């Protein structure tokens, strides 16, 4: 009788150890996947921030170019008006 109890107890212990190792492996895999997902999300956020920054810089450059062109046009028109006024005297 003791032999049977010992065999059953040994089998239960082995099953518990195997289950524990399996659970440990699954937990480690889940942790690795969560870490990879967090890293991917951080990389995506950084890439999106960089893209937004580049878009803002491009918009500012376009605005500067347009303002410079408008100032040049206004200057030429002012010169033309001054010349026209001088010619009418």
Q: How far is CA 36 from CA 23, 30, 44, 82, in A?
A: 20, 10, 12, 69
Q: pLDDT class for 75, splitting at 50, 70, 90?
A: confident
Give this prediction's pTM.
0.49
When pLDDT is averaged across residues 72-86 and rounded to a whole number, the result is 83
Site of tokens 């003791």: 2
Measured between alpha carbons, how far is 74 from 85 in angstroms, rounded to an integer? 16
The string of pLDDT tens digits covering residues 8-35 is 666 666 565 566 666 777 777 888 888 8
Site of tokens 């659970």: 23
Measured between alpha carbons, how far is 71 from 65 in angstroms, rounded to an integer? 10
Measured between alpha carbons, how far is 36 from 29 in angstroms, rounded to an integer? 11
């Amino acid at each position: 009788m003791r032999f049977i109890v010992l065999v059953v107890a040994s089998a239960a212990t082995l099953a518990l150890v195997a289950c524990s190792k399996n659970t440990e492996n699954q937990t480690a895999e889940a942790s690795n996947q969560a870490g990879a997902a967090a890293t991917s999300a951080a990389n995506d956020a950084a890439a999106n921030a960089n893209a937004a920054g580049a878009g803002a810089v491009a918009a500012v450059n376009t605005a500067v170019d347009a303002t410079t062109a408008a100032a040049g046009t206004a200057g030429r028109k002012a010169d033309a008006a001054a010349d026209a006024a001088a010619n009418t005297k």
